[in-house]
A = this chain, B = another copy of it.
Amino acid sequence: MTTQGPGLHTHVLDTLGLEIAAGDCPPGRVLRTDELAQRFDVSRTVVREVVRVLESMHLVESRRRVGVTVQPTEAWNVYDPQVIRWRLAGADRPRQLRSLTVLRSAIEPVAAGLAARHATPEQCAALTECALGMVATSRGQQLEGYLEHDIAFHRIVLNASGNEMFARLGDVVAEVLAGRTHHQVMFEDPDPAAVTLHVRLAEAVREGDVADAERLTKEIAVGALHELDVLAP
């Protein structure tokens, strides 16, 4: 998925971002703006803007008389959805998916608990609708439809938590779910147990059962982690 925008800048940014995230251009490698301009056949202006953006993500550092140095992984802004997308497209997607799923397993239960407290009737209704949509698409190779409802479901929970930091993790979760569906060979239908858990979670939230919401979400997360262990190298 390549973010669109006025052509040149976006193209160069995306290409470089992918290369760095993928590990070509290993940390320590030095790039020169002039070379990049030549390589992409764009003006130095464009390259400089791209470099500034990569720098703000701490993927590179630019120093006078040295050049643009690729930074070690530990420096990267790994919560930037753009960076996440680049990394998920790269070689160590499995590792990436795992660490993101562990993150989800920490956050979503708490978010679900808060959602059980604060969800509006509209949010509860939307949640139930998503759960039903998941049920409807859980059989017969309708993975895309299922994914859509799954993403919407988790997004609603995160939003309903009322916490901004949780809510903004919706994009990350969406990337994880999409990455899982698209890149792991998922010829089978989704786990029926997971579907059931989502339905029950929608109920728990609607009824304001905090403890249950937390527990069910934890189960969902455990299932997701287990699935990763089974399907990923």
Contacts and interface: CB of A to CB of B under 8 A. Distances in A.
Interface of A: 6, 9, 45, 48-50, 52-53, 55-57, 64, 73-74, 76-82, 99-100, 102-103, 105-107, 109-111, 114, 163-168
Contact of A168 (B55, B78, B82, B163): B78
B78 A165 contact: yes
22 contacts: A45-B45, A49-B49, A49-B52, A52-B53, A53-B56, A56-B56, A56-B57, A74-B167, A74-B168, A77-B168, A78-B164, A78-B168, A79-B79, A79-B165, A79-B168, A80-B80, A99-B164, A102-B110, A102-B163, A103-B165, A106-B110, A106-B166
B56 A82 contact: yes
B99 A163 contact: yes
A81 B102 CA distance: 21
Q: Which 9 A-B pairs have the closest CB atoms?
A: A79-B79, A106-B110, A103-B165, A53-B56, A49-B52, A99-B164, A106-B107, A78-B168, A99-B165
A53 B50 CA distance: 9
Given A56-B80, A74-B168, 5 more contacts: A9-B52, A53-B53, A79-B79, A100-B165, A105-B110
